[in-house]
A = this chain, B = another copy of it.
């Protein structure tokens, strides 16, 4: 197969180098690494088509790879075969500032994209923390800290070019802001995790850069109070830009890891953004609300460096837990109806305490989405099982109250077992789509469905 790929693509686009195989064997999750047989580096849609054609000939699995920042093992080639690294397809294909849209290749990262467009007063605001690729973010329907304002990737993608398993190249949408034409393939391919096709272009909506930004932190005695406070902000219809819950344990962890000195207390991190007067009015109102709810401490950060420090710390929290020698963590990614948030946060905290595991609760509470991280020793099977049991309980509870097993990380390997519980018979419909578009189960096999 290597020879055929080299003939089709050129030798510089094919590698079986050990280091490359290792790099493409894992992501940022605790899921077991599996090396691919070969890594390819396509430079065009045509290259991707060629790879799929060779793969079909050899009945080899094909798994797309962005930068490996995923958290559910989506890029791990569990059935071996070809890992398709899209890093060389990282150009802007078409940029229309007037339309506030851009078409990019899938390997462009969100920071690269923003560097190109910020000077036009435009931004692409979806922010999962990591500097993920647009292709990876689209494939997992990623979101992050700004979802409370801008939604998920699915809300931002207008069109995709996708190479199907049989080599057909299709466009899923158009560049119009809305359409009622045909079936909505854009939404379907967004979040399909490379199991239905390989994304080779993505057209995104862009947004103006807010005139003024203020960040704030406030602390409460309990995580439950934080969750109630977050709910109060939403109920008052305040158009916040970010609103993050971080429990005391996570604060402690990031202080140690990143040399910060945040007060070790259950906290809400806020960002307010927009026209200056509107932002200032929002800050006054939220401060009042938080004080009424009995917050212990309220702090604002108006200077860019202060603000950046807060969000940098927030983004480092998962890493802070992960990068302890010999430790791994499992994380939930549940998202529930907002009114259920305090109840679920309470439930999560109790489970964490009962389990005796070290961990933390943090997340995008403006969407009802939060993560419960539980650490275990790599070699301690019993700890890992305790962590798994806790995760199971929390996810099943979230589904029971009308929520989802994954708000933003995707299904990958870790959330497969909850698909039937969450979707019921709809899983059979999903599986039938998979069989229809990929009858040989070549595209990222072993993900989403068993």
Q: Is A308 interfacial (CB-CB < 8 Å)?
A: no
152-205 of chain A: CB within 8 A of chain B: 152, 154-155, 164, 168-172, 174-188, 190-192, 196
In Å, the complex CA distance between A260 and B99 comes to 36
Interface pair B181/A419, CB less than 8 Å apart: yes
Candidate in A143, A151, A188 with the most chain B CB atoms within 10 angstroms: A188
CB contact between A155 and one of B155, B182, B231, B333 (< 8 Å): that residue = B155
Interface residue stretch chosen among A4-12, A293-301, A409-417: A409-417
Q: Is A402 interfacial (CB-CB < 8 Å)?
A: yes
In Å, the complex CA distance between A2 and B181 comes to 35
In Å, the complex CA distance between A207 and B170 comes to 36
Instruction: Give the oligomeric copy count.
Output: 2
CB contact between A176 and one of B100, B336, B432, B437 (< 8 Å): that residue = B336
Mask, A233-269, CB within 8 Å of B = 1, is: 0010100000000000000000000000000000000
Inter-chain contacts of A407 with B (CB < 8 A): 176, 178-180
Residue of B nearest to A431 (CB): B183
In Å, the complex CA distance between A143 and B266 comes to 42
Inter-chain contacts of A409 with B (CB < 8 A): 180
What is the distance, in angstroms, from A220's C-beta to the closest C-beta of chain B?
Answer: 20
Interface pair A183/B192, CB less than 8 Å apart: yes
Residue of B nearest to A190 (CB): B184
With A171-B423, A429-B437 known to touch, is A180 a contact of B411 (CB < 8 Å)? yes
Mask, A326-361, CB within 8 Å of B = 1, is: 000000010111110000000000000000000000
CB contact between A188 and one of B184, B406, B427 (< 8 Å): that residue = B184
In Å, the complex CA distance between A161 and B407 comes to 21
Q: Is A141 interfacial (CB-CB < 8 Å)?
A: yes
Q: Is A378 interfacial (CB-CB < 8 Å)?
A: no
Q: Is A271 interfacial (CB-CB < 8 Å)?
A: no
Q: Is A105 interfacial (CB-CB < 8 Å)?
A: no
Residue of B nearest to A151 (CB): B178
Interface pair B174/A404, CB less than 8 Å apart: yes
Interface pair A403/B176, CB less than 8 Å apart: yes
Interface pair A406/B187, CB less than 8 Å apart: no
CB contact between A403 and one of B174, B231, B422 (< 8 Å): that residue = B174
CB contact between A180 and one of B179, B402, B410, B429 (< 8 Å): that residue = B410
Interface pair A177/B339, CB less than 8 Å apart: no
Q: Is A93 interfacial (CB-CB < 8 Å)?
A: no
Interface CB pairs A-B, < 8 A, 13:
A96-B337, A140-B180, A143-B178, A155-B155, A164-B429, A170-B425, A172-B426, A176-B407, A178-B404, A180-B406, A182-B448, A183-B196, A183-B433
Interface residues of A (CB under 8 A from B): 96, 98-101, 140-143, 147, 151-152, 154-155, 164, 168-172, 174-188, 190-192, 196, 208, 231, 235, 237, 277-278, 333, 335-339, 367-369, 399, 402-411, 415, 418-419, 422-430, 432-433, 436-437, 448
Additional 20 contacts, C-beta under 8 A, given A141-B184, A181-B410: A98-B231, A99-B337, A141-B179, A141-B180, A142-B180, A164-B429, A168-B428, A170-B426, A171-B424, A175-B337, A176-B367, A177-B368, A180-B191, A180-B410, A181-B418, A182-B448, A183-B191, A184-B190, A187-B187, A188-B188
